[in-house]
Amino acid sequence: MLGIFLRCLAAAAALGLSAGSAPAAETVRLEAAGSVLEAEVARSRAQLERGLMGRPALPEGRAMLFVFPHPSGWCMWMKDTPAPLSIAFVSEDGRVISVEPMQPFSTRLHCPPEPAAYGIEAPAGSLEKRGLRPGVRVQGLPR
């Protein structure tokens, strides 16, 4: 019996699972300006507060999508975030409102010029390189 238990533990470890592991993060495929981003979704209060804090880098082509509880003037900062990022604020109907760079560990607030329903954070400069700019529509946004 112990042998079966140990083999199950070994199999779980090989798959990257553990008894106390959290479920895999929700991800979505976002499309805008002919480009695709795979985005981890942050929608719970804890996820929205944590964001990308403490992560040393985000691979190219990856992003974090913040789904705000309701459209508003949600502001973001980079406290405890070591990787330089860009943020795009997006309206409820998927229109990019603004895109701006954010510096590591900064407490400067970045706020949209009008109510935003979403924020998309990605490696510095990557949103701009992918053609995200005010007025561009983002497809694949969850609600």
Domain boundaries defined on the chain: 23-129
- Pick among 1.10.240.10, 3.40.50.300, 3.90.1150.10, 2.60.120.1140: CATH of 23-129: 2.60.120.1140
pLDDT at residue 6, rounded to an integer: 30
pTM here? 0.83
Query: In angstroms, rounded to a whole number, what is the distance separating the alpha carbons of residues 101 and 56?
Result: 17
4: which residues sit within 8 A by CB, 6+ positions away?
none
Q: How do residues 43-64 score in pLDDT, each as one tens digit?
A: 999 999 999 999 999 999 999 9
Q: Residue for token digits 């992003």?
A: 63
| Total residue count of the chain as it appears in this document | 143
